[in-house]
Chains A and B, each alone.
Chain A
Amino acid sequence: MATEEGKIDPMYQFEVQTILEGFSLGGQQIAFTNSAVWMLVAVAGLWIFMLGGMKRELVPGRWQMIVETFTGFIDNMMEANIGPAGRKYAPYVFSLFMFILFSNIFGLLPVGVLGLHPFTVTSHLTVTGVLAIMSFSIVLIVGFAKHKLHFFSLFIPHGTPLPMIPFIFIVELLSFLVRPFSLALRLFVAMTAGHILLKVLAGFVINSTNAGAGYGVLVGIPSFALMIGISALELLVAVVQAYVFALLTSLYINDAENLH
């Protein structure tokens, strides 16, 4: 939260800040940023979490049980949405789901209390865009590798009357091409909106209290109560958005794997 002349900017939390200059690659500065730190934190957290599941005991302990719940969840999702052929995509979708989940949740951690600067990796369009493009590329590669040009029949639903085929084809093609954007924007917007809302309410608490005790009680306390509720909601959104991203990816892969 940057206080510039007493003003609290709720967008400041999304700023990418350079920690180390790094190196240059094709005219772009590849700096080590706060965003990179939080990506590494998310992956490190995920790695430690997964290590707990690697005991591979016949009778699982609590930690192993939790990890197996997550792997089983994605495994079932792939099996249910794609069928037995879907299990080979499970490692990718699992990585996607867990990476987004940990990034979302780590971005919500109240580390600001410790003087650190929380940053939500998934609230950046570049990040969600790359993840969406990866999923979309897999759909394209699998679709064309498996069905060759027959993959275009995906855009003509069964039973379409002959004169309608050109229009339906264009509509379906557009909806197909919009997928990576909707995938990327959905996560980006959900994360950004929630974090802005929390920061705006936090700004209310600070500014009203600074304006006087009366304002603090009248505005600050209800805002703070609202923040508690919205924090819980954001935790839910963090999980749901990771789930939605993984679910839509599995549905799109299903199109590529099985056509209709």
Chain B
Amino acid sequence: MPQIDQIALTYGSQIFWLLLTFGFTFLVIGLGMFPKIQGTVDARDKRIADDLEAARAANSKADELEENYRVKMEKDRSEAQAVVEASKAKANAAAEKRKTKANADITAKLAAAEADIKARSDEALKEIEDVSAEVAQDMVAKISGAKVTKAAALKETKAALKHG
């Protein structure tokens, strides 16, 4: 096995070249390049984590805004509802009042008109009685020649009118 047969002859050069090449590997690649490459990876991981965090924050902010908007919308709507309700009630009350007043007016006018009608019909009735009594007095005078007082004639006429 040459590895063992040659060991006494070659160990110096083997160790020398190994230390040289591995030393270069350790100093330039291990200590020089490795931390830089790992640093890039770490920076990227951190960047990704930060971006994710920012996105999460923005998302929750948006949720919050939406919630605020929703609450405000709800409030505005209920306020508008209240305003509508109030104005409707007010309008109703005003209409009711006007209606009552109009009703009262109409009743008063109706009563006045009825009273008028009654007065006129009474008057007319009285005239009819008067005329009837005079006619009856004249008829009695002409037919029998008897003198009938106006009061008696009126009394008879009234009774006759009452019986129809």
User: Which residues in A have some Cβ–Cβ distance to B below 8 Å?
Assistant: 11-12, 14-16, 22, 25-26, 28-33, 35-36, 39-40, 42-43, 46-47, 50, 53-54, 56-58, 60, 67-68, 71-72, 75, 90-92, 94-95, 98-99, 121, 123-127, 130-131, 134, 188, 192
B4 at interface by CB-CB < 8 Å: yes
Give Cα distance in the complex from A93 to B102, angstroms.
107
Known A-B contacts: A30-B16, A39-B17, A91-B34. Give 20 more (CB < 8 A).
A12-B2, A14-B1, A16-B6, A16-B10, A31-B13, A35-B13, A46-B29, A47-B29, A72-B38, A75-B41, A91-B31, A94-B30, A95-B25, A95-B26, A124-B14, A125-B4, A126-B14, A130-B14, A130-B15, A130-B18
Asked whether, in the complex, the Cβ of A54 is within 8 Å of the Cβ of B37, the reply is: yes
Asked whether, in the complex, the Cβ of A43 is within 8 Å of the Cβ of B13, the reply is: no
Give Cα distance in the complex from A42 to B10, angstroms.
20
Asked whether, in the complex, the Cβ of B41 is within 8 Å of the Cβ of A71, the reply is: yes
**Beta-carbon nearest neighbor of B29 in chain A:** A50
Interface residues on B, range: 35 or more
- List 4 A-B pairs, minimum CB-CB distance, nearest first: A28-B12, A95-B30, A91-B30, A36-B17
Question: Does more than half of chain A's interface fall in helix, strand or loop, or is it mixed?
Answer: helix
What would 25 A/B residue contacts be, using CB atoms closer than 8 Å? Answer: A11-B2, A12-B2, A16-B2, A16-B10, A31-B10, A39-B17, A39-B18, A39-B22, A42-B21, A43-B25, A50-B33, A53-B37, A58-B44, A68-B40, A91-B31, A91-B35, A95-B25, A99-B22, A99-B25, A121-B18, A126-B10, A126-B11, A126-B15, A130-B22, A134-B22
Asked whether, in the complex, the Cβ of B2 is within 8 Å of the Cβ of A127, the reply is: no
Give Cα distance in the complex from A9 to B40, angstroms.
49
Contact check: which of B3, B6, B21, B26 meets A39 at CB < 8 Å?
A: B21
B36 at interface by CB-CB < 8 Å: yes
Number of A-B contacts (CB under 8 A): 134
**Beta-carbon nearest neighbor of A93 in chain B:** B30
**Beta-carbon nearest neighbor of B24 in chain A:** A43
Nearest CB of B to A36, in Å = 4
Give Cα distance in the complex from A33 to B36, angstroms.
34
